[in-house]
């Protein structure tokens, strides 16, 4: 589906003067933070764009008296949110989440996404699954016509089963590589698992079918394919504009 057909446009929003006009991540993050209503339970995603959501939410808490409780999707987000004074609760303490704000590594015209560049794909998907509404914040470069064309698909795997999963994914026509950490060892998620970053040379034709196929491989914990979970996307632009598209 061509991107121009996606969703219903919402009137442009002019960011506060404090926003750096040429930082699309900040533009998108600030816009999404304005969608949060007092009294809400908010899911907080992970990544560099969500970082600006945290900044603006903390400002609103201090300046407006915004009252929220938030569920973080990673240790990194939890640490940053606590430092900024955002009240947090665990997933065990909530039955559902009113609004989840998260980023994406790619998003297509059907609102299907690739996520997991920050390594938090499992927790992000769990939080998204119980959210009444999920808003995705991205820059324009994250919008693609076909998933897998600009970013490798992360697949979280149990270390014991890594070699088996690699072979199975190779049979699907992909080229998986083990994500490495800065210290030279395998990158480990907050759950103690490894990540395979998988390149699909021709892109991903059927994301929903691929998600099911990957989930069926023993040893796969979760894939970075997020299907039918996003309700809206906020796109920040280099000129300071923000654009909100709602899923029909």
pLDDT category of residue 16 using cuts at 50, 70 and 90: low
Tens-digit pLDDT profile for residues 150-190: 999 999 999 999 999 999 999 999 999 999 999 889 999 99
Q: What percentage of the chain reaches a pLDDT higher than 70?
A: 92
Is pLDDT of 88 > 50?
yes
Architecture of the domain spanning 3-145+227-246? 3-Layer(aba) Sandwich (3.40)
Is pLDDT of 17 > 60?
no
Residues known to be catalytic = 124
Is pLDDT of 59 > 60?
yes
| Residue burial 22-41, b: 16+ Cβ < 10 Å; e: rest | ebbbbbbbbbbbbbbeeebb
pLDDT for 3 = 42
- Token digits of residue 21: 């006009």
List Cα–Cα distances, 228 to 56, 72, 83, 129, in angstroms: 27, 21, 33, 10
Write down the CATH superfamily of domain 153-223: ACT domain (3.30.70.260)
Domain locations along the chain? 3-145+227-246, 153-223
Tens-digit pLDDT profile for residues 130-158: 999 999 999 999 999 999 999 999 999 99
pLDDT category of residue 44 using cuts at 50, 70 and 90: very high
Could you give the CA distance from residue 112 to residue 36 in angstroms, rounded to a whole number?
A: 23
Three-class secondary structure of residue 207 per DSSP: helix
Is pLDDT of 13 > 90?
no
pLDDT for 206 = 97
pTM as predicted: 0.89
184 CB-contact burial (10 Å; exposed 0-12 / middle 13-18 / buried 19+): exposed
């Amino acid at each position: 589906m061509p991107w121009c057909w996606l969703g219903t446009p919402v009137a442009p929003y002019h960011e506060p003067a404090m926003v750096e006009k040429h930082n699309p991540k900040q533009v998108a993050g600030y816009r999404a933070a304005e969608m949060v209503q007092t009294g809400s339970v908010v899911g907080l995603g992970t990544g560099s764009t969500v970082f600006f959501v945290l900044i603006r939410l903390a400002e609103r808490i201090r300046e407006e008296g915004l009252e929220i409780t938030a569920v973080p999707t990673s240790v990194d987000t939890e640490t940053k949110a606590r430092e900024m004074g955002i009240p947090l609760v665990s997933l065990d303490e909530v039955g559902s989440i009113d609004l989840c704000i998260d980023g994406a590594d790619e998003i297509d015209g059907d609102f299907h996404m690739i996520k997991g560049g920050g390594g938090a794909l499992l927790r992000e998907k769990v939080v998204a699954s119980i959210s009444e509404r999920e808003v995705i914040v991205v820059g324009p470069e994250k919008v693609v016509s076909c998933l897998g064309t600009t970013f490798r698909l992360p697949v979280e795997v149990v270390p014991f089963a890594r070699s088996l999963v690699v072979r199975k994914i190779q049979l699907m026509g992909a080229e998986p590589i083990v994500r490495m950490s800065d210290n030279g060892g395998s990158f480990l998620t907050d759950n103690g698992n490894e990540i395979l970053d998988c390149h699909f040379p021709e892109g991903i034709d059927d994301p929903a079918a691929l998600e099911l196929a990957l989930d069926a491989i023993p040893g796969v914990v979760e894939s970075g394919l997020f299907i039918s979970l996003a309700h809206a996307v906020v796109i920040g632009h280099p000129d300071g504009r923000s654009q909100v598209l709602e899923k029909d």
